Amino acid sequence: MKRNLLILSLSFLFLFQGNVKADEGMWLPYFLGKKYQEMKALGLSLTQEQLYDINHASLKDAIVMLDGGNCTGEIISSQGLLLTNHHCGYGEIQAHSSVEHDYLTDGFWAYSLGEELVNPGKTASFLVRIEDVTAQVLKEVKATASEQEREQAIQTAIAKLEKDAVKGTHYEAQVANMFEGNEFYLFVYETFRDVRLVGAPPSSIGKFGGDTDNWIWPRHTGDFSMFRVYMGKDGKPADYSPENVPYQPKHYLPVSVKGVKENDFAMIWGYPGSTDRYLSSYGVVQKSDELNPVTVKLREKKMEIMKNYMDQDAKIRIQYAEKYAYLGNFWKKDREESKALRRLKVADQKKALETEFLNWSAQGEDRSAKYGEVISTFEKAYKVKSDSSYSKAWWYIIEASFFQGSEILTFALKHNTLKGMLTAEKDATAVIDELKGEAAHFYKDFNPTIDKEILGAMLQMYHDDLPAELHPEFFKMVEKKFKGNFNAYAEMVFKKSVFANEEKYMNFLSNPKKQLEKEPAMEAIFGLFAKFQELQMAQNELDTELQKAKRLFIDGIRQMNDQRFYYPDANSTMRLTYGTVRGYEPRDAVKYDFITYLEGVIQKEDPTNEEFVVPAKLKELYAAKDFGTYTDNGKVPVCFLTNHDITGGNSGSPVINANGELIGTAFDGNADAMSSDIQFDPKLQRTIVCDIRYVLFVMDKMANAQNLIKELEIRN
Residue partners of 563: CB distance under 8 A and separation at least 6: none
3-class SS of residue 524 = helix
How many residues does the structure list for the chain? 716
- DSSP per-residue string spanning 294-323: HHHHHHHHHHHHHHHHHTT-HHHHHHHHHH
Helix, strand and coil in the chain, % to nearest 5: 50, 15, 35
Rounded distance between C-alpha atoms, residue 549 and residue 117, angstroms:
49
Compute CA distances 459 → 291, 406, 470, 688, 693, whole Å. 17, 10, 13, 37, 48
* Cβ–Cβ under 8 Å, residues 668 and 619: no
Closest by CA to 636, choosing from 628, 644, 624, is 628
Amino acid at 595: I
| 430-455 CB burial, b ≥16 within 10 A, e <16 | ebbeebeeebeebbebbbbebbbbbb
The H or E element spanning position 669 is strand 662-669
| Omega within 30 of 0 (cis) for the link into 242 | no
Rounded distance between C-alpha atoms, residue 661 and residue 333, angstroms:
31
Closest by CA to 688, choosing from 39, 220, 89, is 220
The H or E element spanning position 402 is none
Rounded distance between C-alpha atoms, residue 487 and residue 473, angstroms:
18
Longest CA span, the chain: 77
Give the catalytic positions in this structure. Answer: 87, 223, 651
Rounded distance between C-alpha atoms, residue 22 and residue 577, angstroms:
9
3-class SS of residue 608 = coil
SS3 assignment for 16-79: CCCCCCCCCCCECHHHHHHHHHHHHHHCCCCCHHHHCCCCCCCHHHHEEEECCCCEEEEECCCC
Closest by CA to 336, choosing from 109, 581, 671, is 671
Is the four-CA dihedral 257, 28, 403, 282 of positive or negative sign?
A: positive
* Cβ–Cβ under 8 Å, residues 513 and 421: no
Say which DSSP state 572 is in: S
In angstroms, how far is the first alpha carbon of the chain from the final one? 38
Rounded distance between C-alpha atoms, residue 686 and residue 643, angstroms:
5
* Cβ–Cβ under 8 Å, residues 310 and 324: yes
CA-based Rg of the chain, rounded to a whole angstrom?
A: 26
* Cβ–Cβ under 8 Å, residues 210 and 87: no
Amino acid at 127: L
Rounded distance between C-alpha atoms, residue 208 and residue 214, angstroms:
9
Pairing relationship of beta strands 255-256 and 584-587 according to DSSP bridges? unpaired
Residue partners of 452: CB distance under 8 A and separation at least 6: 490, 491, 493, 494
Mark out the alpha helices in 100-251 (DSSP H runs): 103-106, 134-138, 147-165, 203-206, 210-213
Closest by CA to 598, choosing from 675, 510, 696, is 696
